[in-house]
Structure 1
Amino acid sequence: MEKQELLKLTVKAADDKRAENIVALDMQGISLIADYFIICHGNSDKQVQAIAREIREKALEKGYQVNRIEGFEEARWVLIDLGDVVAHVFHREERIYYNLERLWGDAPRVDVLSELNS
């Protein structure tokens, strides 16, 4: 259940900073990297950094380990490795260009946002 809690915490942190089009993918059995991918985007460098910072801070507050953060300074594609969950926080243009949702199109989507908002 810890994976599910980390997933919810990550999505909520991104949502709290007004991340757009948050998608959670169940990567279990598809990728060895993580059990879940979170994909979202911001509309400015500052917003991308704010989203990434919020995810990191909320995870640390709850005692989760943040293994690595890549791309924070450039704020075009920030990858936050939380072990079972990897968050991809894009700038809008990079998200369109890399289109991870299509790349991992065989991964089932997890509807975490509706759970959080109910």
Structure 2
Amino acid sequence: MNRRSRPKRPETTRDMAFLCAAAGLDKKAQDLILLDVAELSGYTDFFLLASGRSTRQCAAIAENMARVMKKAGLKPLSITGLKEGGWVLLDFGDVVVHVFHQPVRELYDLESLWSDAPKVDIKIDELPELSDLEQDS
């Protein structure tokens, strides 16, 4: 790919969530969980939960997700908590991403709050490849 190449625009909301997951893993996000909340929520189809080891890492994970999604033609509707980094929320409409510093994730325990939502298996080999993307634009 040349410097102006873009990742393929996701065709489905699941593809959007997987692209976010790949961007998170690119910055060493941990404990990724994808919840299918379409039947339980009136405002989104998926929640992607991820953790970082520090507030700075959480901000870097979220910034990378926003950058990768923008390159794919999908800007977030909003980003909240980026400066603080304890809980960063990225709203892409059909996919809402929660990036937590691990102690904050344990405190709010969204996995338990949304325990009725089916978990979607995230297989590393099914995620989009980001290695050929320009990461610092």
If the TM-score is normalised by the length of the shorter chain, which range does it land in? over 0.9
Tell me if 1:116 matches 2:119.
no
Unpaired segments ≥5 residues, structure 1 = none
TM-score, normalized by length of structure 1?
0.94
CA positional deviation for 1:29: 1.0
Bigger radius of gyration among the two: 2
Instruction: Determine what percentage of the aligned residue pairs are the same residue.
Output: 38
Tell me if 1:52 matches 2:62.
yes
Q: Which has the higher helix share?
A: 1
CA positional deviation for 1:2: 2.2
CA RMSD of aligned residues (A): 1.3
State the alpha-carbon separation in 1 of the partners of residues 109 and 14 from structure 2. 24
State the alpha-carbon separation in 2 of the partners of residues 17 and 32 from structure 1. 30
CA positional deviation for 1:7: 1.1
Whether the 8 Å CA contact 1:27–1:107 is kept in 2: the answer is yes
TM-score, normalized by length of structure 2?
0.81
The CA deviation string for residues 36-70 of structure 1, in whole angstroms up to 9 with x for no partner, is 00001101111001100011001100001310000
- Give the number of equivalent residue pairs: 117
| 3-state SS in 2 of match to 1:112 | coil
Unpaired segments ≥5 residues, structure 2 = 1-10, 129-137
Tell me if 1:8 matches 2:22.
no
**Partner residue of 1:41?**
51
**Partner residue of 1:30?**
40
**Partner residue of 2:117?**
107
| 3-state SS in 1 of match to 2:106 | helix
Q: Which amino acid aligns with 1:26?
A: D
